[in-house]
Chain A
Amino acid sequence: MIQLKHVSKTFQSGASSVHAVQDVSLDIKEGEIFGIIGFSGAGKSTLVRCINLLEKPTQGTVTVDGVELTGLDEKKLRQMRLKIGMIFQHFNLLRSRTVYQNIAFPLKKSNLSQEQKNQKILSLLELVGLSDKKDAYPSQLSGGQKQRVAIARALANDPKVLLCDEATSALDPQTTKSILALLKKVNEELGITIVIITHEMAVVKDICDRVAIMELGHVVEEGTTEDVFVHPQKPVTKDFISTAGNVDKIYELIAEKNPLTILQPGEKMVMLTYSANNAGEPLISYLSEAFDVKANIIYGNIDILKGKTIGKLVVTLSGEKANMEKAIAYIRERQVDMEVIQE
């Protein structure tokens, strides 16, 4: 649905230039929810603006629904933009217009009759659950309600793609959940491809099918959410994943020299990450039986990732040196991700 090929965007300010996006290629498939995650300044907002050409890429091509946007003139581009809805962190509703008028606003560009437009707006209000607020002004709405209006407005011209630029970053966790559920519903019921820009791993975890991680203008890692979660490759990805769970706590405990974390000679502290396909196996007890290696659980965390379980365990292994080596080889063989934290 969306193909980015070698997209770069450089901002010139006087003599210095900022490379916001550098040589990014992505292929976002029809009907999927694609997450782009990165810390502030990673270039993700610029990248999403390159998809509808709010920012013109300095290099590379952008193709949406088979049409190469980078090759279009302004007029044709505006036509194509009707097919690409967008929502923003700060909602960007028109303050002087009611909820109804805000949703009617993009329909100025539509060929529907007055009555069809009216029907459309009422059904969108129903979809986002705000039928009773149709005559309210944005100032009378909560943040979550404003984002619902923005979503309805973005859907008015039946887009094929919905771009979400930090759409939940200004919302509390509870409201974030309900907005994500709405986006999921939009994706499932209307078949709209959704691109989500966020710095919150929890957002990706909840609804994204695939995810790309951005750092300093580059996409450093890309894959299905589950793969990236279970086998993160790059340090920045690991950082994000630790923000979603709370296994990070272990590093604090180590730094505090908590008695739990003090190792005897020959012991190893490791973090095991296992996913749905090997979660149920009695690894810990097997280590003890087969290799006489004791695994003392120090810290644990279980994440539900789009319905699948991802477990993280911090354990100290103790036993004979040779047995330890065998045990570790066995863990690796079982495709349980293992990271040695301390030895």
Chain B
Amino acid sequence: MSFLYQIAPNLEPLGAELVKCIGQTLQMLFVSGIISFILGLLLGVVLIVTKKDGIMRQVAVYNFFDKAIDVIRSIPFIILMILLIPVSRAIMGTGTGVPGAYIALIAGTVPFFARQIESVLSDVDYGLVEASAAMGFSPIEIIFSVYLKESIPGITRVTMITMVSLIGITAMAGAIGAGGLGDFAIRYGHQMGYRDMIWVTVIIILVIISIIQGIGNLIIRRTTH
């Protein structure tokens, strides 16, 4: 511990605050990560099955979500966040703090993730879909047994990419008072000028990303044949 305090002297007084901020970042990451994963996966599946050659072709539905995703993705996150404050107040009851950031984080992640899921699922050979239909499987069964099951490595890969980008935007959310490591780095590293605290946050974020990628790579190795 004393060695750590030697190279990062500000860690001693700010240690407790840092731990709290790590907690906030992890909380934002898990809650919005899990919700975004579910919504993004759902949306990606909707896109793939409703499009022109899809198994539940609904061109109007496809066009709606396709355009909506493009629109939301084209708004820079920092602006999207401010834009969504009233929505967050309506849904979450607050526009600040960790709970106030969820809506913006999810809105910033889902379209990005859904697009990537769409691209992963479109790599599933249509022949498999056709073969399963010929075996008497319903569209819903095909979605689960073929599209999703066969794409586990690809879904894992894009989930990792999305998690890394989600960490990036949680740091940005810190700027408008969501707390977390971004907020910590801005307050102490930037405004107070504690350079050592910037390095500490960078290292912690690198560790979080490495853990996520380690788990992801393990899943990919186990499921690729």
- Tell yes or no: B12 within 8 A of A by CB: no
CA of A163 to CA of B141, assembled, Å: 22
Task: Kindly list chain A residues whose C-beta atoms are within 8 Å of the C-beta of B149.
Answer: 94, 96
User: Which residues of A lie under 8 Å from residue B128 when comparing CB positions?
Assistant: 92, 94
* CB <8 Å contact, B135 and A94: no
B118-132 contacts to A (CB < 8 Å):
125, 127-128, 130-132
Asked whether A95 lies within 8 Å of B150 as measured between CB atoms, the reply is yes
Contact A54 B133 (CB under 8 A): yes
Cβ-based interface call for A257 (8 A): no
| Chain B residues in 8 Å Cβ range of A96 | 149-150, 152, 223, 225
Chain A residues with CB below 8 A from B150, complex form: 94-96
Bound CA span A85–B136, Å = 10
Residues of B within 8 A of A138 (CB): 225
Q: How far is the CA of A79 from the CA of B125 in the complex (A)?
A: 24
CA distance A105 to B127 in the complex (A): 15
Whether B225 lies near A106 (C-beta < 8 A) is no
Q: How many A-B residue pairs have CB under 8 A?
A: 60
A139-B136 contact in complex given A92-B128, A94-B146, C-beta closer than 8 Å: no
Q: Is the CB of A137 within 8 A of B131?
A: no
**Does A81 lie within 8 Å of B152, measured CB to CB?**
no
CB contact between A109 and one of B125, B131, B137, B146 (< 8 Å): that residue: B137
Distance between Cα atoms of A52 and B130 in the complex (Å) = 11
Question: Could you tell me the distance between the alpha carbons of A326 and B92 in the complex, rounded to whole angstroms?
Answer: 102
Q: Which chain B positions have C-beta within 8 A of A88?
A: 127, 130-131
**Dominant SS among interface residues on chain A:** mixed
**Residues of B contacting A80 in the complex (Cβ-Cβ under 8 angstroms):** 136
In this assembly, does B165 line the interface, its C-beta being within 8 Å of a C-beta of chain A?
Answer: no
Using CB atoms, name the residue of chain A closest to B126: A92
Residues in B179-214 with C-beta less than 8 Å from chain A:
none
CB distance from B52 to the nearest CB of A (A): 10
Q: Given A82, A92, A106, A139, which contacts B127 in the complex, CB threshold below 8 Å?
A: A92
Interface check B63, CB cutoff 8 A: no
Among A81, A95, A137, A153, point to the contact of B136 (Cβ < 8 A).
Answer: A81
Q: Are the C-beta atoms of B138 and A84 separated by less than 8 Å? A: no
Given contacts A105-B145, A137-B225, A139-B225, contact A92 B130 (CB under 8 A): yes
Q: Is the CB of B225 within 8 A of A78?
A: no
Interface residues of A in 156-177 (CB under 8 A from B): 157, 163
21 contacts between A and B (CB under 8 A): A52-B134, A78-B136, A78-B138, A81-B134, A81-B135, A81-B136, A82-B135, A82-B136, A88-B127, A92-B128, A94-B128, A94-B146, A96-B150, A96-B223, A96-B225, A105-B135, A105-B145, A109-B135, A138-B225, A139-B225, A153-B135
